[in-house]
Amino acid sequence: MVENVDLSLVDWSRAQFALTAMFHWIFVPLTLGLGYIVAFMETIYVKTGDPEWKRITKFWMNLFGINFAIGVATGIILEFQFGTNWSNYSWFVGDIFGAPLAIEGIMAFFMESTFIAVMFFGWDKVSKKFHLTSSWLTAIGANLSALWILVANAWMQNPVGMKFNPDSARNEMVNFWDVLFSPTAVNKFLHTTTSGFVLASMFVVGISAWFLLHKRNQLFAKKSIIVGSVFGFIATIMVIFTGDGAAKDIAKHQPMKLAAMEGLYQGEEGAPLMIYGFLSGSDEERLKDPREDNFIVNIPVPGMLSFLANGDFGSYVPGIRDMLYGNEKHGILSFEERIKRGYIAQQTLKELKEAEKNDDLARYERLKLKFEDKEWLDTFMKYFGYGTYFDADPQKLEANVLELVPPVTIAFHAFHIMVGLGTLFLLVFALLFYYTIKNKIENVKWLLLVALWSIPLVYLAQQTGWLVAEVGRQPWVIQDMMNTRMAVSQIETSSVQITFWLFAITFVGLAIAEAKIMLTQIKKGPKEGGQ
């Protein structure tokens, strides 16, 4: 039951994982995009034979290498936490979640490790074409690593391709391809990697802008801006299109997250999309006090949320209160009903285990048949995770129901900051390309400053994107199947607290070290003659 769990242990375990994930994601998106930019720049060098492009390639390649090394270190720590802090989760779905992680380690990581050595140390030791191939394979390998991690994360958001085994009380994979190619996985991979391309592009144009502002290496900077702005503009367009696909998938499988992202409490037909707004009161106040308008100020676009969610401007989009208390007209079960059904599923499993223990084979076989009946699975097992919130006391049950609503304020503002910054980046890339090809970029100092200061903004957009994805699905670790309280390891809270602060100190130190090394390399600039 929920109340038997040490809530401080859950909170500290979540905080530690969030700390590690957010620091890891400082390094990963730059690796994803910069690898391709470097490979593209080297392709130009091989095609043209222009030594200036070799010089440009080597400069950005050095920055790629610095970032890559630290990203690997934080990623290893992140994966170990599944076994240390989230062992119940790892046991419950390890047969499914472990497969993508194993493939990531065996295939993608070794691919990167093999070719990155040639990429950095093979200049003038192997042929130009072989070196170029190594650069492209390193970039592809980095993105393949991201693929398997994102497939695993997407499965947590929308568990497919599996079957619950009542004998082991674990979920087991039955169709690998359903896991790999689920719409959730495809959208998450494309949206996340292309957002990494945007970050890398802004990194390139921002640093190039710094060189122009200091009147250094101007030819290098202009050529880098052309590549970075084109790559960034195309990537931003792709982010927009993949974001649309992700929104439709969220509307189908995680409607509560969508409602939180838009601060939509009362469902409606022709639901508006909020360009931006400020929510009134706290999350708890808005839940307990239904009102027509939950905003102090907002800028809505009528019908646009309905269109983004369902492809129909007049379609119905459920709100938070619809999912809390149900909506019979639109076939939406209340959370209380889901909790009761989940409780029945959990009790059935408990009874099956008791029958097995007592050698009551007839009862055991009768109960096991339920776990093979599709109708029973869709009616009860589908809501297995909700059963943890069951309580016979109506007041406690109501409190548990409210806990199923994610932090709306965080999800709403994170989503709109991400979208707003993405729109800004599209404009910045377009203007940078225009003024560079017109050979006027060095005279537009305000734009160079915007490009430079957009580097921290694009990192902010990355972090807010993950806040939407992960905070928006709370309290679920696996959507509708397992919440954070069920997933946490039964260890001492003090152990998690100690390691939290150790990790925090380590990660801050790594971030400072990378920043110093990066800044030193940037200030030195590209080496003359590309040596």
The helix/strand/coil state of 163 is strand
**CA distance from start to end of the chain:** 64
User: Given CA atoms 181, 184, 185, 191 in this order, what sign does their dihedral have?
Assistant: positive
Does 126 score more than 50 pLDDT? yes
From CA 285, how far away is CA 279, in angstroms rounded? 11
Does 113 score more than 80 pLDDT? no
Name the residue with tokens 């390399």: 521
Pairing of strands 273-279, 295-301: antiparallel
Query: Which pTM value belongs to this model?
Result: 0.91
| Confidence tier at 206 by pLDDT (50, 70, 90) | very high
Q: What is the pLDDT of residues 441-500, one digit of tens each?
A: 999 999 999 999 999 999 999 999 999 999 999 999 999 999 998 888 888 899 999 999
C-alpha distances in Å from residue 381, one per residue of 166, 222, 334, 374: 11, 59, 16, 9
The DSSP element (H or E) to which 316 belongs, if any, is strand 316-317
**Long-range Cβ contacts of 148-153 (<8 Å, 24+ apart):** 148/100, 148/101, 148/103, 148/104, 148/108, 149/100, 149/101, 149/104, 150/185, 150/188, 150/189, 150/192, 150/193, 151/100, 151/179, 151/180, 151/185, 151/188, 151/189, 152/97, 152/100, 152/101, 153/188, 153/469
List CB contacts of 316: < 8 A, sequence separation 6 or more. 267, 268, 269, 271, 306, 330
From CA 359, how far away is CA 42, in angstroms rounded? 69
From CA 38, how far away is CA 348, in angstroms rounded? 57
Six-digit token pair at 88?
């119940």
Name the residue with tokens 């030193």: 520
Six-digit token pair at 77?
């720590």
Q: What is the pLDDT of residues 245-286, one digit of tens each?
A: 999 999 999 999 999 999 999 899 999 998 888 888 888 888
Q: Where are the domains of the chain?
A: 2-161+170-254+406-522, 267-405
Residue type, 468: V
From CA 204, how far away is CA 206, in angstroms rounded? 6
C-beta separation of 23 from 506 below 8 A: no
pLDDT at position 66 = 86
C-beta separation of 145 from 27 below 8 A: no
Q: What is the mean pLDDT of residues 332-345?
A: 94
Q: Which residues pair with 173 in a beta bridge?
A: 162
What number of H helices and E strands is found in the chain?
A: 20, 8
